[in-house]
Amino acid sequence: MDFSYTILIPLIPLAVFLLLGINYKSIKPSVSGWIGSLGLFATLVLSYYTAYQYFFVVGKVGDIYQTFTEQWRWMSFTETLYIDMGVMIDQISVMMLVVVSTISFMVHLYSRGYMKGDPGYTKFFAFLSLFTFSMMGLVLAVNLFQIYIFWELVGVSSFLLIGYYYTKPSAVAAAKKAFIVTRFADLGFLIGILIIGYYGGSYDFATLNDLEGNVITNWASTSFMGLSVITWGLLLIFIGGAGKSAMFPLHIWLPDAMEGPTPVSALIHAATMVVAGVYLVARLFPLYYFVEDGYALNVVAWVGAFSALFAAIIALTQNDIKRVLAFSTMSQIGYMMLALGVSGYYGHDGLGYMASMFHLFTHAMFKGLLFLGAGSIIHAIHSNYLQDMGGLRKYMPITHITFLIAALSIAGFPGFAGFFSKDEILVAAYEHNKLIYVIGVVVAGLTAFYMFRLYFGIFWGKDTKYEHTPHESPVSMTFPLVFLAIMSAVAGYIHFSEYVTVDHQPFEAHLNYPLAAIAVGVGLLGIILAFIFYKKPSGLPEKVAASFGSLYQWAFDKFYFDELYLFVTKEIIFKRISAPFAWFDRHIVDGTMNLIGNSTVSGSEKIKKIQTGRVQDYAFAFIAGAVVLAMIFIYKWII
């Protein structure tokens, strides 16, 4: 089956980016909105067609999902070192195509309303298309180099979009922070790629993931400090993934990234780019599972679990609704990492992998919806802060209902999509590691609580008097909300285990009723607590916060990690390490160059005095030269 038409899926957004980028001064804003949306619609249609073809028509051969690759040699260095570019169609890449194109298309439609009147409208759509192109390229990558290239491109798009309001210093600082932190993580990624490529012999995913291949059978051949070299490579690659997915301790950029426009937050920092780290681990899952008996996979699980708990605690205290959602995203991605970490490989043991991908899918839907709803609210009230909101259910019914659906989904209310995916994760965790399971359940409860704190605080709570009455958003903004709400509700009913599995064979996944009951119970507890605290204005939240005392303050200040990193970079790296190098460069390197230049000038100043303008001096030189040359050449007195 020829899937080479899938190369169009990343290329259409690239063409839109080039078109809008080159002509951004001459295209009218409304036209650029249409062009961007139409381009994305074409991509969407192609992605859905590919998904239909793959999952329902040709993908399965004898009950095993095949992997289709088309690749072209891009750069060739030696026989064994070359970089190919191409497309790899298998279960997770097709699933990601569907997710990315859906969310991107919804965000395009939404932005046509949200960004209306903004002076850089065309630029915004150009950057959105650039991001979509990069993300598609990342998802379809066939080897580690290609995924790294598109990884960096996604980082650049994120930088451009976070710093979109470039006149705001905080936005510029946030963009720099995001790019620098992820770039720092990518150093680990690159070193990991090189280690794996060198010791494994190939950079190609098909070759690396081959169960009878060199890497998986021979991983113990070289070790370093007690662990196999391949394990080190995998850990380093995971550092790259952790940076991009905002896992602890590289999470500091995600809350600040909320400085970007809300559609950007929805697209990049909720649904697609931040899951790139999860996608990377999923892509290399056979390596993570089989090498050193899953040592690296264990690290992934614990990092995910800790990040989930850490983020959930901080999210309880924040007042900026976008920051609450950002920490919620970090927490949910922690869930996805955790699920990958506890997964096995064969048949039903691969439940964690399937659950992680399932949660990725549903999370994109409901988190995208939450962000777009938050954008709708911010657009109406012109403020991000919970204190300024309250009683909005009267003014914005559609936003209210869709936000409620999303909140129920993320809290794991039975029947909605989040319930099914989160439940599968908890089942997988229970079968593998009880402590991680307990952490998962606690985080589920915290998630329900802070989500409904947000919901009640915005739509119920106190009856705030607004300066100008907030009105419901236009259709361009509410249509995506409605669509995503429907998806958040029904996506749970997809039998994901028949489509996306780690060993490429479908299996049956059943609902584990006792564990589901525990999860639902914890979720309902969270919702009820939030109801008590926040539905009507009361002093209860402040009293509880005060009773926690300094613990509350620490959580509110995000456990001071930003300050710690700032200290390390400013005091230690800048002053102690970089400053001497800068001094050396300025004074010694530049000084040498200046010295050479100045000496040439002063030398020539002295030499030019030979030209006196007097004929007799010239004659003197002439005759002297003749005499000397005669002596040297004819009589060889001197030589």
Partner 1 sequence: MVDYSFMAAIQLAVYAGGVIVLIIFSVLLVHHIELRLEVSKLSQRILAGLLSLSGLALTLYAIFTYEFSVIENTNSIEVHDIGLGMLSYKEGGFILPFEVISVLLVAVMIGAIVIAKGKRLEQ
Partner 2 sequence: MIQGISIYEILTLTSIIFFIGIYGFLTRKNLITMLLSIELILNASAINFVVINTYLYPDVLQGVFFSVFIVAIAAAETALAVAIVINLYKLITSVEVEDTETMKY
CA distance 468 to 50: 47
* Pick 187 or 627: Cβ nearer partner 2: 627
* Pick 469 or 616: Cβ nearer partner 1: 616
CA distance 225 to 309: 31
Closest CA to 287 of 196, 368, 222, 361: 196
CA angle 388, 553, 566 (to 5 degrees): 100
The answer to whether the beta carbons of residues 345 and 503 sit under 8 Å apart is: yes
Return the DSSP state at 320.
B
Using CB distances below 5 to 8 A depending on partner kind, what does residue 576 bind out of partner 1, partner 2, none?
A: none
**Candidates 192-200, 487-495, 587-595, 606-614 — which segment interacts with partner 2 by CB under 8 A?**
606-614
| Residue 633 C-beta: closest distance to partner 2, Å | 20
| Residue 618 C-beta: closest distance to partner 1, Å | 13
- Tell me the HSE value of 34 on the side-chain side, using a 13 A CA sphere: 5
Quick check: 81 binds partner 1 (CB under 8 A)?
Answer: no
- Length of the chain equals 639
Quick check: 630 binds partner 1 (CB under 8 A)?
Answer: yes
* Pick 31 or 621: Cβ nearer partner 1: 621
Quick check: 26 binds partner 2 (CB under 8 A)?
Answer: no
Quick check: 616 binds partner 1 (CB under 8 A)?
Answer: yes
Q: The tokens of 20 are what?
A: 């809008």
* Pick 25 or 609: Cβ nearer partner 2: 609
CA distance 498 to 12: 30
Using CB distances below 5 to 8 A depending on partner kind, what does residue 25 bind out of partner 2, partner 1, none?
A: none
CA distance 10 to 131: 10
For 283, 286, 373, the CA distances from 219, given in Å and listed in that order, are: 18, 12, 48
- Which of 608, 636, 638, 639 is the binder for partner 2 (CB under 8 A)? 608
**Candidates 54-62, 105-113, 281-289, 629-637 — which segment interacts with partner 1 by CB under 8 A?**
629-637
Quick check: 601 binds partner 2 (CB under 8 A)?
Answer: no
**Candidates 13-21, 414-422, 442-450, 624-632 — which segment interacts with partner 1 by CB under 8 A?**
624-632
Q: The tokens of 534 are what?
A: 């926040």
CA distance 460 to 454: 10
Quick check: 634 binds partner 2 (CB under 8 A)?
Answer: no
* Element of type H or E holding 594: helix 590-607
Using CB distances below 5 to 8 A depending on partner kind, what does residue 611 bind out of partner 1, partner 2, none?
A: partner 2
* Pick 226 or 613: Cβ nearer partner 1: 613
Using CB distances below 5 to 8 A depending on partner kind, what does residue 551 bind out of partner 2, partner 1, none?
A: none
Quick check: 631 binds partner 1 (CB under 8 A)?
Answer: yes
**Rounded-to-5 percentages of helix, strand, coil across the chain:** 75, 5, 20
**Candidates 31-39, 82-90, 465-473, 614-622 — which segment interacts with partner 2 by CB under 8 A?**
614-622
Using CB distances below 5 to 8 A depending on partner kind, what does residue 633 bind out of partner 2, partner 1, none?
A: none
- Which of 635, 636, 638, 639 is the binder for partner 1 (CB under 8 A)? 635
- Which of 550, 612, 635, 638 is the binder for partner 2 (CB under 8 A)? 612
Quick check: 623 binds partner 2 (CB under 8 A)?
Answer: yes
* Pick 465 or 609: Cβ nearer partner 2: 609
- Which of 26, 212, 611, 637 is the binder for partner 2 (CB under 8 A)? 611
Residue at 188: amino acid letter: G
Quick check: 620 binds partner 2 (CB under 8 A)?
Answer: yes
Phi, psi of 507 (to 5 degrees): -140, 170
62-66 long-range contacts, Cβ below 8 Å, gap at least 24?
63/505, 63/506, 64/504, 64/505, 65/90, 65/91, 65/501, 65/504, 65/505, 66/90, 66/504
Closest CA to 146 of 160, 136, 156: 136
Burial (Cβ within 10 Å: 0-12, 13-18, ≥19) of residue 434? exposed
The answer to whether the beta carbons of residues 554 and 560 sit under 8 Å apart is: yes
| Residue 618 C-beta: closest distance to partner 2, Å | 10
Site for partner 2 in 55-114 (CB under 8 A): none
- Which residues, 6+ apart, have CB-to-CB distance to 129 below 8 Å? 13, 14, 16, 17, 20, 36, 39, 40
Quick check: 613 binds partner 2 (CB under 8 A)?
Answer: yes
Secondary structure of residue 143 in the 3-state scheme? strand
- Which of 620, 632, 638, 639 is the binder for partner 1 (CB under 8 A)? 620
| Residue 612 C-beta: closest distance to partner 1, Å | 11
Transcribe 168-214 into DSSP letters: SHHHHHHHHHHHHHHHHHHHHHHHHHHHHHHHHS--BHHHHT-TTSH
* Pick 49 or 620: Cβ nearer partner 2: 620
* Pick 550 or 611: Cβ nearer partner 2: 611
| Per-residue buried b or exposed e for 416-428, using 16+ beta carbons within 10 Å of the residue's own CB | bbbbbbbbbbbbb
Quick check: 550 binds partner 1 (CB under 8 A)?
Answer: no
Quick check: 615 binds partner 2 (CB under 8 A)?
Answer: yes
Determine the angle formed by the axes of helices 144-162 and 229-244, rounding to 10 degrees. 20
- Which of 75, 540, 589, 623 is the binder for partner 1 (CB under 8 A)? 623
* Pick 26 or 611: Cβ nearer partner 2: 611
* Pick 550 or 612: Cβ nearer partner 2: 612
| Residue 634 C-beta: closest distance to partner 2, Å | 16
* Pick 608 or 614: Cβ nearer partner 1: 614
Quick check: 468 binds partner 2 (CB under 8 A)?
Answer: no
Quick check: 573 binds partner 1 (CB under 8 A)?
Answer: no
- Which of 1, 619, 629, 630 is the binder for partner 2 (CB under 8 A)? 619
CA distance 426 to 137: 32
* Pick 567 or 622: Cβ nearer partner 2: 622
**Candidates 38-46, 184-192, 194-202, 627-635 — which segment interacts with partner 1 by CB under 8 A?**
627-635
- Which residues, 6+ apart, have CB-to-CB distance to 561 below 8 Å? 249, 251, 252
Given the rule CB under 8 A, which residues bind partner 2? Answer: 608-609, 611-616, 619-620, 623
Contact residues for partner 1, defined by CB under 8 A: 616, 620, 623-624, 627, 630-631, 635
